[in-house]
Amino acid sequence: MRYLILEDGSIYAGEGFGSQRQTNGEVVFTTGMTGYQEAITDQSYAGQILVFTNPLIGNYGITLADYESLEPGIAGVICHQVARQPDNWRMQTSLPEFLTSLDIPGIQGIDTRALVKKLRVHGTMRGQIADSSAQAAAIAEKLTTSDPVQKIVEQVSTTKAYPVPGSKRNIVVVDFGLKNSILRELAQRDCNCIVVPYTTSAAKILALHPDGVLLSNGPGDPQEMLSACEMVREVEKKIPLMGICMGHQVFALANGAQTYKMKFGHRGFNHPVREIATKNIGFTSQNHGYAVQADSIDPSRLRVTHVEVNDGTIEGLQHKQYPAFSVQFHPDSTPGPHDEVGLFDYFMQMIDQERNQTNA
């Protein structure tokens, strides 16, 4: 038996799989029905224990082609049931073997419906995957008094710049916890990419002579990215810019808006988002626990382009003076519907238009 112990003293018993080490982190849930490998390897989950609401995961195994990162920072995995006999022509290993190889603990057999209801009512909580429930009260007290993980982006961002060769447009990708699928979308558009650490200055980015700059997704509190905000304020004046997820929040902060921590966040790929200009609704892939505060947006600098249908949170922003925009959701759609993948094409068009004006 293994146990999930929450900071309010709740205990959920189950069967361990994957790594047998103990772990703790913020307990969050995803509403995605598939895509468990992409979720587990998404660095936006770094430091978190992820609860899958779908009752069965692992049924199609694991394949190298679906990794979002090779060394994921996720703290643990919770599910109701792991498939006993996974089967898929692409699979190379099973989910339990995959978690064991990456030293990621998991628990199955938990009543995930009850757990998710608690998180929706009371908000995300810190939790610990433990071998025994005997010290549950002491563990819960320690969880409530422990400081939240800080500088989590520092743990998942690249420490050195590296290229992803292409031949058309030169794109600098600022890595806050980059998903491989973002690079895949840029590669499909034959972009020549240079991925740089999140601490890279505006001067160093501009010295690479980019045609565009992309701010990636990533974990943690965007308020810790104030140095990156300084970089954005300089870059957006000179180079077309696109922000995704954490990049969206950093873009907002750089232009005077504020962010706040959500009660339980958006995680999954069935989140409806309305584009204000067209009133079209697209279903999106999302993974974030912070959002941009609507009443903090300066309407003279930023225009709201997208909102979440269910709760009205800000999902997209466009700069009114510079060729720069951002979205809270993941247009790379891995996993998830491809409703908004065209935003990468919009970014390419923005870059080409700026290049044509410069060369005119």
> Which domains are assigned to the chain?
2-145 (3.50.30.20), 152-359 (3.40.50.880)
The question of whether 66 is a catalytic residue gets the answer no
- Mean pLDDT of all residues in 85-106: 97
Q: What angle do CA 48, 49, 54 make, to 5 degrees?
A: 125
- Cα–Cα distance between 1 and 84 in angstroms, integer? 18
Percentage of residues in the chain having pLDDT higher than 70: 100
Catalytic-role residue among 66, 80, 245, 288: 245
Catalytic-role residue among 175, 221, 332, 339: 332
Residues 6+ apart with CB under 8 A from 284: 269, 271, 272, 273, 315, 329, 330, 331, 333, 336, 337, 339, 340
The question of whether 339 is a catalytic residue gets the answer no
- Mean pLDDT of all residues in 241-266: 98
pTM: 0.96
The question of whether 332 is a catalytic residue gets the answer yes
Catalytic-role residue among 80, 248, 319, 330: 330
Between strands 56-57 and 81-82, the pairing is parallel
pLDDT tens string 280-336: 999 999 999 999 999 999 999 999 999 999 999 999 999 999 999 999 999 998 888
